[in-house]
Amino acid sequence: MKRIGVMTSGGDAPGMNAAVRAVVRRGESLGAEVYGITNGYKGLVEGEIHRLTSNDVGGILNRGGTMLFSARYPEFKEKEGQLKGVEQLKKHGIEGVVVIGGDGSFRGAQSLSNHGFPTIGVPGTIDNDIAGTDYTLGFDTTVNTVVEALDRVRDTAGSHGRVLVVEVMGRDAGDIAIWSGLSSGAEAIVIPEKPFDINVIVKNLRDGFAAGKNQGLIVLAEGVMPAAELVRQVQEIDDSFNIREVVLGHIQRGGQPTARDRVLGSLFGARAVELLTEGKTGLCVAVVDEQIATNTFDDIFNKLKHVPRLHLHELNEFLI
């Protein structure tokens, strides 16, 4: 394989640049030219494709975001858009492509593979919601960013005797909430994967203040409900709490990737290139028990299921 393409798609995640760098440098070490596709599938269809060399990816290892940019492009769900993408790849002489992104990005990658174009996926999403891998690129950095924010709001909550409901990202996955909530000693962690009882949460808050606590922290995954709604539910039962909502928003996406995400991105990117040069397609790289592994796109979408570490959620309930 003489020419390989690389693109980032969907929401940006810390560690994507590390993966791009690894694709370029591992590709060159195997004798391949690497071409960057900017702005995701939109850029692919519009032919935004340019050569990348080792010099181009120097100094990006420690940068958050993605040097290749990203864009939403729902048109790629249709066959017409997919075939336009394949046409552009062939026009530029590209023989295989590495797609770095989450669920939607992988569905696009699977479509390319189904059209006969060699494609390998790299799981890059802060939500950690890709089946078949223990961790995705960006998750570790995001959890550390959220924990730092939770530690800060703890300070102000304690100063005013407040309960704070902090809404974190994760859409339909509670991983960010679980890991950051446990790390921050939250009085409650509310996630999509496990039903919650608002009365139990209120009781725990009451008991905490009765025992001498001067603050309360609830970590809420955005996929359950908005933070303001959970505040309303608490107040409906007990309006004596001095309670506020905090929405961390897109601050969770940015910042320098942690060492773990830099290493993981490097491992993922290099292995993706190796798979292409081995003639493989329709696969996604993964990390399982600290070892780099692979899954097919079909397995990810139809056979495997992402399950958060619910035992960590249960542990937090014992430690309140």
Residues recognised as catalytic: 127
Do the beta carbons of residue 49 and residue 35 sit within 8 Å?
yes
State the DSSP code for 52: E
Alpha-carbon span 102 to 115, nearest angstrom: 20
Q: Measure the CA dihedral 87/90/96/100, to 10°.
A: -40
Alpha-carbon span 302 to 172, nearest angstrom: 17
DSSP string, 67-86: TT-----GGGGSHHHHHHHH
Choose among 136, 92, 85: nearest CA to 110: 85
Alpha-carbon span 40 to 66, nearest angstrom: 11
Q: Which residues of 39-67 are buried (b: 16+ CB within 10 A; e: fewer)?
A: bbbbbbbbebbeebeeebbeebbebbbbb
